[in-house]
C-alpha cells in the first residue's frame, strides 16, 4: 500500500495525516519531555533533531503508518497515532497513541483517533487484526481501547519496568468484523 502524504483521515473533531519532518515542533518536544504525558511511554526525552530523525525513519518505512492527530477547527497538532509494525502477509499491525496536548485529554479525542486509525487499517489497508500493549496502570488508555472494541488477549505479568517497578503489560486485540 503506497503512502499518500496528502491523504487525510477525517473524523468529527479531528483528522489524521502522515507526519513530515516539518511537524517536529517545540510543542511536540514539550509533550515527550512532560512527565505526565510520558509516564507510560518508552520515550522520555526529545529534541527537534531527534524527532525529525524519528519521523524520517517512519516516513521511509513501508511497514509503518505514523500519523499526526490534528484539531479540525484550527489545524493544531495535538498528538500522534501509528500502525507499526504492519505485517502485510499476516494482515496484522500494532498500534499506539499519544495525545500530547493535555488540554485535549478526557474529551473523547483518544477514542475518536483510535477508531479512525482502526477503521483505516481494516477498510483501506486490508488488515484483519490490530493489537497493542498497554501498562496495567494506564487506566485512561485501557478505557479508550475498550471503548473502541479491543479485548484483552493476554497479560504479560511484570513485563515492563517503569520507574523501578515491574508492571503487567496487557496485550489487547481487535479483529475485523
Ligand atoms: C491515554 C490517552 C490516549 C487517552 O486519551 P483521551 O483523549 O483523554 O481519551 P478519551 O477522552 O477518549 O477517553 C479516556 C477515558 O478514560 C477515562 N479515564 C481517564 N483517566 C482515568 C483513570 N485514571 N482511571 C480510569 N479511567 C480514566 C476517562 O473518563 C474516559 O472514559 P469515559 O469516556 O468513559 O469518561 C491520553 O491520555 C494520552 O495520550 N496519554 C499519554 C500517552 C499514553 O499513555 N498513551 C497510551 C500508551 S498505551
Burial letters 119-137, b for 16+ CB under 10 A, else e: ebbbeeeebebbebebbbe
pTM recorded for the entire structure: 0.97
Q: β-strands 77-87, 14-18: how paired? A: unpaired
Cell numbers 509494525 correspond to what residue? 85
State the virtual CA torsion across 61, 148, 135, 14 in degrees, nearest 10.
60
What is the number of the ligand 1 atom nearest to the C-alpha of 98?
A: 39
Alpha-carbon distances, residue 124 vs 72, 80, 135, 176 (angstroms): 22, 19, 29, 12
For ligand 1, mutation pick of 140, 152, 171 (most atoms within 8 Å of CB)? 140
- Kindly report the number of other CB atoms within 10 A of residue 107's CB atom: 11
Please report which confidence band the pLDDT of residue 5 belongs to, taking 50, 70 and 90 as the band edges.
Answer: confident
So what's the pLDDT on residue 21?
96
Q: Ligand 1 centroid to 89 CA: how many Å?
A: 32
Is the model's pLDDT at 2 over the cut of 80? no
So what's the pLDDT on residue 158?
87
Contact call for residues 100 and 135 (beta carbons, < 8 A): no
The mean pLDDT value for 81-85 works out to: 97
For ligand 1, mutation pick of 40, 44, 106 (most atoms within 8 Å of CB)? 106
**Set of cell numbers at residue 130:** 490490530
Is the model's pLDDT at 1 over the cut of 80? no
Amino acid at each position: 500500500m503506497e503512502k499518500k502524504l496528502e491523504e487525510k483521515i477525517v473524523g468529527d473533531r479531528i483528522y489524521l495525516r502522515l507526519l513530515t519532518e516539518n511537524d517536529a515542533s517545540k510543542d511536540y518536544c514539550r509533550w515527550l519531555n512532560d512527565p505526565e504525558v510520558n509516564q507510560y511511554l518508552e520515550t522520555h526525552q526529545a529534541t527537534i533533531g531527534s524527532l525529525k530523525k524519528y519521523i524520517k525513519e517512519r516516513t521511509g518505512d513501508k511497514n509503518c503508518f505514523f500519523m499526526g492527530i490534528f484539531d479540525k477547527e484550527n489545524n493544531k497538532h495535538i498528538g500522534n497515532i501509528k500502525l507499526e509494525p504492519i505485517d502485510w502477509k499476516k494482515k496484522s499491525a500494532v498500534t499506539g497513541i499519544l495525545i500530547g496536548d493535555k488540554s485535549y485529554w478526557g474529551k473523547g479525542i483518544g477514542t475518536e483517533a483510535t477508531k479512525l486509525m482502526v477503521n483505516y487499517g481494516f477498510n483501506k489497508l486490508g488488515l484483519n487484526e490490530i493489537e497493542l500493549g498497554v501498562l496495567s496502570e494506564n487506566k485512561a488508555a485501557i478505557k479508550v481501547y475498550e471503548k473502541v472494541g479491543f479485548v484483552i488477549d493476554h497479560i504479560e505479568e511484570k513485563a515492563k519496568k517503569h520507574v523501578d517497578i515491574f508492571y503487567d503489560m496487557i496485550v489487547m486485540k481487535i479483529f475485523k468484523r
